[in-house]
Amino acid sequence: MSSEVVRYRLEDETAVVTIDDGRANALSHAVIEGLSRALERAQAEARAVVLAGREGRFCAGFDLKVMTASPRECRVLVEAGAHLCLRLYEFPRPIVVACTGHALAAGAVVLTSCDWRVGPDLDVKVGLNEVAIGIALPIFAMELARARIATHRLLEATAHARIYSPREAAQVGYLDEVVPAAQVLDTAKARAAELGALRDPGYSYTKQLVRRATVRAIRETLEEDMDRIG
């Protein structure tokens, strides 16, 4: 499967899904739809997924052109992003991120939605910067951050809009390991192969149990969350 912004290839039993919009790798409708199709295919034919950006960019957040077009268009895009993050978070196969560069705003939320996150030893930025530009975090983003960010760093990572280097991001909880930039994708593939060897129903059911409370909190507040954004 291939599109202008999302590419899919199957390597052995790992689905490698790459985002590249030629710019900042923003979460646009096209990217969200492409990722949704890729996940559907991966669930049918892969044991694990690697989600990658391109060199220097993982994801810069929601598409600002849509976000500033109108309240209605903003709501529709953010709601689509919320459902994508939930799908990533609940996905029954392991998802490993090859965080190839900057991961800001919704890009950082995607990091909190996936299972294992490999980052580059580069001067790139990772974090939730919404409050710094006068935007409150959506509830779904806060709940995912709460589940993955170290408790004693949660306030600074969210309300204080702290942005981190990859090594700092690993200490806080956005990333799980940091390697030389040239090794990010290969390391992510190796981790995906290791996790993909874990068999069901043990893996998928246990993952569901671990994440059930967060999923419930997001689903119960999603309409309220989107009404506030709209």
Mean pLDDT, the chain, integer? 96
* Model confidence at 3: pLDDT above 80: no
Q: Is the pLDDT of residue 109 over 80?
A: yes
pLDDT of residue 1: 46
Mean pLDDT of 81-86: 98
Question: Mapping DSSP to helix (H, G, I), strand (E, B) and coil, where does residue 104 land?
Answer: strand
pLDDT for the residue 2: 45
Q: If we measure between CA atoms, which residue out of 99, 106, 148 comes closest to residue 130?
A: 106
Model confidence, pTM: 0.96
Q: What is the pLDDT of residues 115-131, one digit of tens each?
A: 999 999 999 999 999 99
Beta strand segments in 55-168, E: 56-59, 95-98, 101-104, 116-120, 126-127
Interatomic CA distance for residues 141 and 113, integer angstroms? 9
For 147-203, the pLDDT digits (tens) are 999 999 999 999 999 999 999 999 999 999 999 999 999 999 999 999 999 999 999
- Share above pLDDT 70 across residues of the chain, in percent, rounded to a whole number: 98
Cα 142 to the chain's mean position, in Å? 13
Residue extents of the structural domains in the chain: 6-229
Which superfamily, per CATH, for 6-229?
2-enoyl-CoA Hydratase; Chain A, domain 1 (3.90.226.10)
Please give the backbone phi and psi of residue 160, each rounded to the nearest 5 degrees, phi first.
-90, -5
Query: What is the model's pLDDT at position 229?
Result: 86
The 8-class DSSP code of residue 213 comes to: H
Which residue(s) pair with 116 in the sheet?
Answer: 96
Query: What does the alpha-carbon distance between residue 79 and residue 5 come to, in Å, rounded to a whole number?
Result: 20
Closest CA to 167 of 119, 127, 129, 128: 119
